[in-house]
Chains A and B, each alone.
Chain A
Amino acid sequence: MSVKLLLDKANIEGIRYYDAWRKNGGYAAVEKALKMTPEAIVDEVKKSGLRGRGGAGFPTGLKWSFIAKPEGVPRHLVCNADESEPGTFKDRYLMEFLPHLLIEGLIISSFALGSNVTYIYIRGEYAWIPDILEQAIAEAKAAGWLGRNILGTGFDCEIYVQRGAGAYICGEETALIESLEGKRGNPRIKPPFPAIKGVWDRPTVVNNVETLTAVVPIINMGGEEYAKIGVGKSTGTKLISACGNINKPGVYEIDMTISVEEFIYSDEYCGGIANGKRLKACIPGGSSVPILPANLLLKTAKGETRMMNYESLSDGGFATGSMLGSGGFIVFDEDQCVVRHTLTLARFYRHESCGQCSPCREGTGWMEKILKNIEFGKGKLSDIDLLWDIQRRIEGNTICPLGDAAAWPVAAAIRHFRDEFEWHVLNPQESQVRNYGLAHYADERNVVA
């Protein structure tokens, strides 16, 4: 059995509400943290080795220590609950079922950063969750965990929930800040970084929901203990939202020492590929990260077992590896078409580009159109090279990483599944009635089955 630090109480009756939460050890971390100094909390988080769970995996303690502290200027903590990356739905689970865990994390983090006004920016489509959060905030406030002079420490803190209007780009931290300020959600040009000029030009830290909830066990058990869980620079536990052709889709908490194979096939997690089919490919960390064929997913190019952690998943770089990203684990069985899937993603990124930079605005639309041609039997072989060229000229040349996120899936699909693209082009009729199938992407396990 693996360690559970975030979801350990998820199955307790009524845990969404304050009384049950408190009875089961809730708010002990806040009590403990408010007796510490803000610097000591930042230190604990540094020691824990916690890395941002929003996708980039940047060390949280380090990020916190960058926040500017000019005299007399308020600072803000913003919780990024915009979770719109296809395949990622772990923050929803946390907020819906364990809202007090997030509130607790927010109070501690606000105290550490000196934020008296803290925001939760939540994606518009999570229409029912703001009510849950607001109720939890009201309960916490009634119990004295929020508001003025919390626990007599002199620390004031209010938490506000702001709903987004349904744009993926508002998950990018500077677009989120613009949107929070009531403006069009265009990413800002950096520098300045939010740690210097964020919400209303005040120093701001933006963190993912899961990152902020992880602060609670870190305070409870101490940074050093937390760092002992996991392996290398992948400390603590990570939520994985697993979906696609698996027997048991859902949100799983893993410590980062298990293998990808165990995660997919063990009954504790995904429970194997659904309907007795075979594994073809997988996107291990949300739609933006490179897709991997089964053989490279289960073993690295060096032949080592691929593990579910930051380092192992990115082993081999983009040539033969991928990323842990936000933990949106999407599994494809042998009946799935990589061309169609790439088209779906291209359409998503075309639709979600904010349109500020020319490469992203124009390139995403162009890629979608070409992919559509290939998928519907109207492609040319030269289209595949053209796609490669387009993605190459988007990547790295844009303001925000959405450009990269649009380029990577296309690049990875062509890199690993070029033959499938070519088959589509060369068999325009056949490709409309059947799928390419498994081909050589199989792992040994598949061949036996």
Chain B
Amino acid sequence: MAEGTPLFKVTIDGRTVEVPAGTTILQAARKIGGEVTPPAMCYYSKLQGSGGKCRTCLVEVSKGSDKDPRPMPKLVASCRTTVMDGMEVKNVTSEKVLDARAGVVEFLLINHPLDCPVCDQAGECHLQDLSYEHGKADTRYEFQRRVFEKHSLGPYIQLHMTRCILCYRCVYTADQLTNKRQHGILDRGDHAEIATYIEKSLENDFIGNVIDVCPVGALTDRTFRFKNRVWFLKPMNAHRECPNCCGKVTLWNRGDEVFRVTARKDEWGEIEDLPDGKTAWICNECRFEKKKTSDWVIEGPREINRHSVISQGHYVNAVVPNETFPEVMGREPRIKLQIHDVSEVNEPDRNISLIEGPAHSDDFKD
């Protein structure tokens, strides 16, 4: 923040926060946290130019600012709208917003294959979270869903175009992180697709990060493909001396076995910043090639504080998100998935962090 940037007061769903001028509504809401924060499928604070596309973060501005209190005529994308002093915003307290968001979720799902049972992203997928929170159980869509061929983009990355929500995050990542972008979006409208230029594989040292930024299971790690479900894995912070990148990663283990390596993600699912303010992107070597615990210095279990099923209470130090929903809405959320209520496989009182070696189904039987 530049010296002397004025602070603006903004009120979101009745809760006030002070943020520097130039902050977006979404970032201000994230400062408050909890249910006040609109969901964001395309915006990614570490990627310049991202956001504005998916429309899940739409909010109602009921008062423009102290100077000009007129409300904004349309819902605005909170990720791309900056706050004004005295602005009042409605997120979950606005009928209009909830209706529009329900619409967006429906639109995102009509052509989605709903193949979560075979999708590696399941459990940490933003679209799953969004659908649980704002979606409906049934569909009004009665047509064949859009299909695309599966593609392997080189040895490391698998593209399932059917699952893509065209958030453009991977395109921005490739643009801003790697020196030669080889993929992009071909065609337009509902027939648009992510493609490499004439099937060229993505061969950049940092291209693996597209897997981490992809909010859905469209880009997944081929070295982890069908190996395990993320909620059976134990995330551990670890690092190594890496000549290419910061070397600070999260290992996803089962016992001593490293199933996959990802960058470290914060509570919004974005890759964390290092102490020097740079984003902790990791290189392909760390991500895909170092699959032995001996490659790494283990720092300890990682706090998972996302609201996904991976965080459902079975990790040491798990931070349960601050539930502001009842406070703001005066009632409990209507739909809240407690994985343990519906599945007996993974019992909440069973702390798999304490299990030595790979967990077996036997471990869950007394």
Interface residues of A, Cβ cutoff 8 Å to B: 167, 169, 184, 189, 350-359, 361-366, 369, 386, 393-394, 396-399
Contacts and interface: CB of A to CB of B under 8 A. Distances in A.
B107 A363 contact: yes
Contacts of B168: 356
Contacts of A369: 143
Provide the main secondary structure of the chain B interface.
loop
Given A356-B166, A363-B107, A386-B140, A397 B189 contact: no
Given A369-B143, A386-B140, A397-B100, A358 B108 contact: yes
B54 A357 contact: yes
B358 interface: no
A90 B279 CA distance: 52
B218 to A, nearest CB: 14
B66 interface: no
Nearest to A352: B189
Interface stretch (B72-80, B237-245, B264-272, B322-330): B72-80
A81 to B, nearest CB: 21
B307 to A, nearest CB: 21
B104 interface: yes
A350 B189 contact: yes
A364 B54 contact: no
Contact of A356 (B53, B99, B100, B111): B53
B188 A353 contact: yes
Contacts of B106: 393
A399 B189 contact: no
Nearest to A351: B189
Interface in B5-25: none
B55 interface: yes
Given A355-B192, A362-B110, A396-B74, 15 more contacts: A189-B52, A350-B189, A354-B188, A354-B189, A355-B188, A356-B166, A358-B104, A358-B165, A359-B103, A359-B107, A361-B190, A362-B107, A362-B190, A393-B100, A396-B75
Given A356-B166, A358-B104, A397 B190 contact: no
Interface in B171-195: 184-185, 187-192
B141 interface: yes
Nearest to B168: A356
Nearest to A369: B143
B258 interface: no
A401 to B, nearest CB: 11
B42 to A, nearest CB: 9
Nearest to B141: A366
Top-3 shortest CB links A-B: A393-B103, A362-B107, A189-B52
B191 to A, nearest CB: 8
B282 interface: no
B58 interface: yes
A324 B269 CA distance: 47
A397 B104 contact: yes
30 contacts: A167-B188, A189-B51, A189-B52, A189-B80, A350-B189, A352-B188, A352-B189, A354-B189, A355-B185, A355-B188, A355-B189, A355-B191, A356-B53, A356-B166, A358-B53, A359-B55, A359-B103, A359-B104, A361-B107, A365-B190, A366-B110, A366-B143, A369-B143, A393-B103, A393-B104, A397-B58, A397-B100, A397-B104, A399-B52, A399-B53
Contacts of A365: 111, 189-190
Nearest to A363: B107
Nearest to B107: A362
A355 B55 contact: no
B54 A350 contact: no
Nearest to A383: B142
B68 to A, nearest CB: 15
